[in-house]
Amino acid sequence: MSKLSILLILWSLTSCVKGVSRPCVLKDYGQEHQVCVCNATYCDIIYRVQTINRGEFVSFISSKNGLRFNKSDGKLSNQSGFNLPLANPSTTVSFTVNPARKYQKIMGFGGAFTDAAGINIKSLSKLAQENLMRSYFSEHGIEYNLCRVPISGTDFSTHPYSYDDGAPDPQLSRFALAQEDLEYKIPLIQWAKSTSEKEIHLIAASWSPPPWMKTNNDYSGFAFLKEEYFDLYAKYLLRFLDEYKKWDVKIWAMSTGNEPSNGVLPIKRFNSLGWTPLSVTNWTVNYFGPQLRSSVHKDTILLAFDDQRLFLPWWIDLMVRADRKILQYIDGFAVHWYWDFLVGVGVINELHDKYPEKFTLYTEASIGDKPWEKKVDIGSWERGEMYIADIIQNLNAWVTGWLDWSLALDTTGGPSW
- Show which residues are catalytic: 259, 364
- Please calculate the CA angle 250-254-259 and round it to the nearest 5 degrees: 140
Measured CA to CA, the distance from residue 285 to residue 387 in angstroms comes to 35
For residue 313, whether the previous peptide bond is cis, meaning omega lies within 30 degrees of 0, is: yes
Nearest residue to 223 (alpha-carbon basis) of 312, 160, 175, 304: 160
Dihedrals phi, psi of 13, to nearest 5 degrees? -70, -25
Measured CA to CA, the distance from residue 267 to residue 265 in angstroms comes to 5
Residue 221: which region, alpha, beta or left (left: phi > 0; alpha: psi -120 to 50)?
A: left
